[in-house]
Structure 1
Amino acid sequence: MAQCGSDSTTKTPAPDGGQACMAASEGGVDQSMKPVLFEVFGEIWNVESRLGQGVSASVYRVSSGTATTAAVKEFQADAQAGDYGFQKERSVLEDIQGHKKIVTLYGVFTNRSYVGVSTHCLLLELLDTSVSELLVRVSTQTTITEGDRPRQGHSMWIVQHCARDVLEALSFLHREGYVHADIKPRNVLWSADDECFKLIDFGLSFKEGNQDVKYIQTDGYRAPEAELQNSLAQAGVEADGDSGCTAAVDMWSLGIILLEMYSGMKLKATIQSEEWENNNAAIVDDIFASKTMVCPAIAVYHLRDLIKSMLHKKPEHRITADAALLSPFFSVPFAPHIEDLVQLPSPVLRLLNLIDDNQLYDEEEYDDILEDMKEECQKYGSVVSLLIPKENAGKGQVFVEYTNSNDSKEAQKLLKGRTFDGKFVVVTFYPRSLYKRGYLYQSMH
């Protein structure tokens, strides 16, 4: 069994389980053995699953006896590089803690395995689905039709949500003088309890003007100046002192991510083409022109222009995170699609196809349904509130608010596909922020 001793103070995860982190690096080291548990500051955390595995680190989902969940990022012992990767990510995370759109570091510790090997670990907030997973789902699912025209890519609601959240994180990061240097779909994850996207994995991050990493960014999301710098480094050529990459590389990566989310296509091959090299703005225009308009055209044009402003070849011409947040694209309100509410967990569930008008207006039957639903839903977790509107928006739908997203996710898993009174139940998540404000949608968007 894995043993460990602490070497730093820690923040205890919130009693409701924190949210959910996962900083899965890409790579292919076959590490068949995984720890059974970690002892963190005197508390036992059981390993439930491996979330990701890379060349330098593995990430595990862990839970404590208090039902709290978190993630442990365990760095592999490296005789050549020492503990540089661990110390680098630790120092950056400790320096930038406190922003809602950046993964929370709870603490650091040293794990000592039963064979006597010591590894450095980070105890992190546990997050849910990544933008990479969302892109895979939208690219593989059967074409969804709206009217008689096909719709591809993510909804404008989710694109806007992701863009705003990442830009807010980058605005903070850049003001602190840091460049993330590895913005990609795998490093943008959804937090169910905070209902926002968060940035993870700061292993390549550096202080602007003090770049200590030769190879930055991931293929397909790499800015032109980073491509050049990486090539020079690979050739053993020392770059000029003033040629280091700036925060503009992060804006380029985000522009590619948003273009992929909107189009529903992976664009790596496109970005490596000669056409992209010659005129990427024209390709962006073509992507937007070829996609069926299913939302206000003005909002689509605003998104197109925002993306193009992030993809200028010269970094000094690229829009900053602060300026991007002022884009008119963010002034247009959007409603989530049913696909968004299925894919992005929250502490609130919405149950559809349960109640008809006759049941709503029979007071005795309505009260019985309320009690029955509350009793049923409490089997899966602690219910904070339950609402079945009789009129207007949300009429006949059942909204169930749980204490945290762990309970709501368990309930959603067990309730979907069930039948009540012969009716097939449809279960989605629902944004708690909207539920609390009384914004209830009448139909499945």
Structure 2
Amino acid sequence: MAHCGFNETSPKVQTPRPEIVKPTHGTIDQSKKPVLFEIFGEIWTVQSQLGQGVSASVYRVSSGRAAATTTAAAVKEFQADTHGGDYGYHKERSVLEDIQGHKNIVTLYGVFTNHSCMGVVNHCLLLELLDVSVSDLLVRGSSATQVGRPQQGHSMWLVQHCAKDILMALAFLHREGYVHADLKPRNILWGADDEGFKLIDFGLSFKEGNQDVKYIQTDGYRAPEAELQNSLAQAGVEVDYGCTTAVDIWSLGIILLEMFSGVKLKDTVCSQEWKDNRTAIVDHLFASNSVVCPAIPVYHLRDLIKSMLLNEPKQRCTAETALLSPFFSIPFAPRIEDLVLLPTPVLRLLNLIDDSHLHNEEEYEDILEDMKEECQKYGSVVSLLIPKENPGKGEVFVEYVNSSDSKEAQRLLTGRTFDGKFVVATFYPLSAYKRGYLYQTVQ
């Protein structure tokens, strides 16, 4: 009989929090009466505040009496009649209702009103709960650099994944006639159960040819034509033209450049040097980072980003033409940082199983049984796999029914010991696991 018990819990590793509007990390004071929303006749409990903006706040909420039936979502509550709260609500609601159904756009579950004890009525959106934002990923990438890794951005796998997902979202959005108008890292979030990046926050969006918002986009991600339009509006000059879908392509180009380089570019793109020598700056960023990436994919990504950052809007690539770039035909494997940062329903446990256990059938079966029993403490296990040969030899792959269960397992198992060994727990792409594709090496 194999002796494979878990013990010695070490400090817990916090899982990433989703971020919508300006991020906050406050949690609800549990010593006070719980904050509640009544949504469609059911009581939902506010677990934490995810974001705070001028006109709206975003909360993580949960519903359900038993853990097995608990449902989590996000509520975006707009402030009544202050700072354009009602306008923002009606604007975002109308856009989301018109574009629902794409896997790379946040899902709107419904709308409702919240009646406060002071008699104030606030409009609310009930939204899909998402995970870590690209903004968070950029911060975490910078932290990794500071602890001794050479200056570099995220893996080609992650850059490609994000680029493809958001281009597909933009291609759909633009076909529907909409301009997002506020594309930035904070408005791109990871959907753990769908394993994809998704667009959020459509408060500045408008129909192309009918721009009803004067000031669009955020500093650092603002296209030149939007910068000009904003300046004219501030000067009180009326213009008879609006921005086009090309402004979204520009923003995405900057985001991808930041992800690849690992450098926040706000000061750079607002400088005169950027306006005069943008191509040279892009070339320099790629030359500085090319030593850690294969050459051909780097050139394809560089050319794709350059085609997004052309000064003339009509010359920029569209979302649909960008998806035809040869950059998207190259397969990449994720780095271990990617698998730690991006939750999925599949958990991968490392540093657990010795080769000797794999070739003793009785011990192998005992380990399978012990692992499944332990992993079921944290959620519903769909399947469990321990490969006997490479790739994945001795690693434990646990498929949970959803990402909430796998995230809880990752949080509680990381740092534990198993048969005297410290557990390393990462996530693993569900799509690859389902295909039986196990990465031989993770860079």
Q: Which TM-score applies when normalising by structure 1?
A: 0.91
CA–CA separation in structure 2 for the residues paired with 1:368 and 1:442 = 26
Alignment of 1:28-427 (within 5 A): 36-65=35-64, 66-79=69-82, 81=84, 83-142=86-145, 150=150, 152-239=152-239, 241=240, 243-427=241-425
CA–CA separation in structure 1 for the residues paired with 2:88 and 2:417 = 51
Higher relative contact order (Cα pairs below 8 Å, separated by 6+ residues):
2
Q: What amino acid does structure 2 have at the position aligned with 1:55?
A: V
Gaps of 5+ in 1: 1-19
SS in 1 for 2:95: helix
CA–CA separation in structure 1 for the residues paired with 2:440 and 2:283 = 35
Q: What amino acid does structure 1 have at the position aligned with 2:42?
A: E
| Corresponding residue pairs, total | 418
SS in 2 for 1:83: helix
Q: What amino acid does structure 2 have at the position aligned with 1:174?
A: H
CA–CA separation in structure 2 for the residues paired with 1:97 and 1:142 = 38
Q: CA deviation at 1:442?
A: 3.2
Q: What amino acid does structure 1 have at the position aligned with 2:97?
A: E
Pair 1:76–1:131, CA change in 2 (3 A): same
Pair 1:415–1:421, CA change in 2 (3 A): same
Pair 1:67–1:321, CA change in 2 (3 A): same
Query: Does structure 1 conserve the Cα–Cα contact (< 8 Å) formed by 2:133 and 2:189?
Result: yes
Deviations 1:39-64 (A, max 9, x none): 00101110000000000100000000
Query: Does structure 2 conserve the Cα–Cα contact (< 8 Å) formed by 1:22 and 1:200?
Result: no
Pair 1:325–1:80, CA change in 2 (3 A): closer
Give the RMSD, CA atoms, in angstroms.
1.9
Decide which moves more: 220-229 or 81-90: 81-90
Q: CA deviation at 1:294?
A: 2.4
SS in 2 for 1:291: helix
User: After TM superposition, which residue ranges in structure 1, 4 or more long, deviate above 6 angstroms?
Assistant: 31-35
Query: Does structure 2 conserve the Cα–Cα contact (< 8 Å) formed by 1:393 and 1:440?
Result: yes
Query: Does structure 1 conserve the Cα–Cα contact (< 8 Å) formed by 2:55 and 2:85?
Result: no
CA–CA separation in structure 1 for the residues paired with 2:82 and 2:355 = 69
Identity rate, percent: 77
CA–CA separation in structure 1 for the residues paired with 2:351 and 2:102 = 39
Query: Does structure 1 conserve the Cα–Cα contact (< 8 Å) formed by 2:48 and 2:60?
Result: yes
CA–CA separation in structure 1 for the residues paired with 2:18 and 2:244 = 27
CA–CA separation in structure 2 for the residues paired with 1:348 and 1:289 = 36
SS in 1 for 2:47: strand
Q: CA deviation at 1:300?
A: 0.2
Q: What amino acid does structure 1 have at the position aligned with 2:317?
A: I
Query: Does structure 2 conserve the Cα–Cα contact (< 8 Å) formed by 1:144 and 1:151?
Result: no
Q: CA deviation at 1:25?
A: 4.2
Decide which moves more: 200-209 or 433-442: 433-442
CA–CA separation in structure 2 for the residues paired with 1:80 and 1:350 = 46
Q: CA deviation at 1:293?
A: 2.4
Query: Does structure 1 conserve the Cα–Cα contact (< 8 Å) formed by 2:104 and 2:198?
Result: yes
SS in 2 for 1:213: coil
CA–CA separation in structure 1 for the residues paired with 2:33 and 2:227 = 35
CA–CA separation in structure 1 for the residues paired with 2:319 and 2:145 = 35
SS in 1 for 2:292: coil
Decide which moves more: 164-173 or 288-297: 288-297
Q: What amino acid does structure 2 have at the position aligned with 1:415?
A: L
CA–CA separation in structure 1 for the residues paired with 2:101 and 2:84 = 29
Q: What amino acid does structure 1 have at the position aligned with 2:376?
A: Q
Deviations 1:228-276 (A, max 9, x none): 101111111101x2x2100000000000000000000100111111110
Deviations 1:132-172 (A, max 9, x none): 000001112245778xxx35110000000000000000000
CA–CA separation in structure 2 for the residues paired with 1:202 and 1:297 = 37
Gaps of 5+ in 2: 1-16
Q: What amino acid does structure 1 have at the position aligned with 2:80?
A: A
Q: What amino acid does structure 2 have at the position aligned with 1:344?
A: L
SS in 2 for 1:279: helix
Hey, what does 1:23 align to over in structure 2?
20
Q: CA deviation at 1:279?
A: 1.9
Hey, what does 1:429 align to over in structure 2?
427
Query: Does structure 1 conserve the Cα–Cα contact (< 8 Å) formed by 2:54 and 2:83?
Result: no
Query: Does structure 1 conserve the Cα–Cα contact (< 8 Å) formed by 2:134 and 2:185?
Result: yes
CA–CA separation in structure 2 for the residues paired with 1:297 and 1:80 = 49
Query: Does structure 1 conserve the Cα–Cα contact (< 8 Å) formed by 2:79 and 2:85?
Result: no
Query: Does structure 1 conserve the Cα–Cα contact (< 8 Å) formed by 2:18 and 2:132?
Result: no
Decide which moves more: 67-76 or 290-299: 290-299
Query: Does structure 1 conserve the Cα–Cα contact (< 8 Å) formed by 2:381 and 2:401?
Result: yes
Q: Which TM-score applies when normalising by structure 2?
A: 0.91
Pair 1:289–1:142, CA change in 2 (3 A): closer
CA–CA separation in structure 2 for the residues paired with 1:444 and 1:180 = 35
Pair 1:42–1:34, CA change in 2 (3 A): same
Pair 1:412–1:225, CA change in 2 (3 A): same
Hey, what does 1:13 align to over in structure 2?
none
